[in-house]
């Protein structure tokens, strides 16, 4: 049976393994920074475990205090990471994780949950919609380097 619970400090290695699986190109110091920012925001992390206690998925929710596209409230909880290992997908575990996040956010008094997905991640977009997320916009991000003056 799969269970979903709040992450504990002793879960850090399994949580990091799952983070690395979701974001394989993310350097170690960036993982550390994101974890620190997530905790500082007042967010939460949920871990899904199989019947042997193996970590098989996670969901990270931060509290965003800047404006989030399509939301009506600030601050707003934001699903920063949502991942289930491939062999356990399409069995309702992603749904369990989002329901745990939603219940947690409701207890904090929030009325909305925001999220995002890469434009080409069609599976994740469909999964979000099946879970009741409405699409509120599509974005392309840009950065321009400001050249140093000689
Ligand atoms: C997105 C993800 C977490 C979903 O996890 P999951 O355990 O497969 O999700 P569930 O089985 O609970 O499915 C939830 C709903 O979405 C639907 N769904 C899930 N994956 C889908 C897909 N690839 N295509 C279409 N629908 C999908 C399910 O049918 C289900 O709807 P239903 O209950 O109405 O039938 C998982 O696919 C994943 O880890 N993907 C890679 C990481 C990722 O893209 N994360 C999101 C961005 S951070």
Q: Over the stretch 109-128, which tens digit does the pLDDT of each residue have?
A: 999 999 999 999 999 999 99
Describe the crossing of helices 28-41 and 12-22 by its angle, rounded to 10 degrees.
110
Q: Please identify which residue in the block is written with the tokens 């997530």.
A: 38
Tell me what pLDDT residue 143 has: 98
Tell me what pLDDT residue 150 has: 82
Domains and CATH numbers, the chain: 3-130 (3.40.630.30)
- Please work out whether the CB of residue 126 comes within 6 Å of at least one atom of ligand 1: yes
Report the separation in Å between the CA atom of 75 and the middle of ligand 1, taken as the mean of its atom positions.
Answer: 26
Question: What residues contact residue 79 under an 8 Å CB cut-off, 6+ apart?
Answer: 59, 60, 61, 98, 101, 113, 114, 115
Tell me what pLDDT residue 81 has: 98
**Candidate of 79, 85, 89, 132 to mutate for ligand 1, largest count of ligand atoms within 8 Å of Cβ:** 89
Supply the pTM of this predicted model: 0.96
| C-alpha span between 86 and 8 (Å, rounded) | 24
Residue ranges in the chain whose pLDDT is less than 70: none
Per DSSP, what are the bridge partners of residue 44?
Answer: 61
**Candidate of 93, 127, 130 to mutate for ligand 1, largest count of ligand atoms within 8 Å of Cβ:** 127
Q: β-pairing, 3-6 with 114-115?
A: unpaired
Tell me what pLDDT residue 57 has: 98
Ligand 1: nearest atom to the Cα of 118? 47
Tell me what pLDDT residue 145 has: 98
């Amino acid at each position: 049976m799969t269970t979903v619970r709040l992450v504990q400090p002793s879960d850090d290695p399994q949580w990091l393994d799952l983070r690395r699986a979701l974001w394989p190109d993310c350097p170690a110091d960036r993982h550390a920074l994101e974890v620190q920012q997530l905790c500082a925001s007042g967010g939460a992390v949920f871990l899904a475990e199989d019947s042997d206690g193996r970590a098989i998925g996670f969901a990270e929710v931060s509290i965003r205090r800047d404006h989030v596209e399509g939301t009506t409230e600030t601050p707003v909880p934001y699903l920063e990471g949502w991942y289930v290992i491939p062999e356990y997908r399409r069995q309702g575990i992603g749904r369990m994780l989002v329901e745990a996040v939603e219940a947690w956010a409701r207890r904090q008094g929030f009325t909305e949950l925001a999220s995002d997905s890469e434009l080409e991640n069609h599976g994740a977009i469909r999964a979000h919609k099946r879970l009741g997320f409405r699409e509120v916009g599509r974005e392309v991000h840009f950065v321009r380097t400001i050249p140093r003056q000689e």
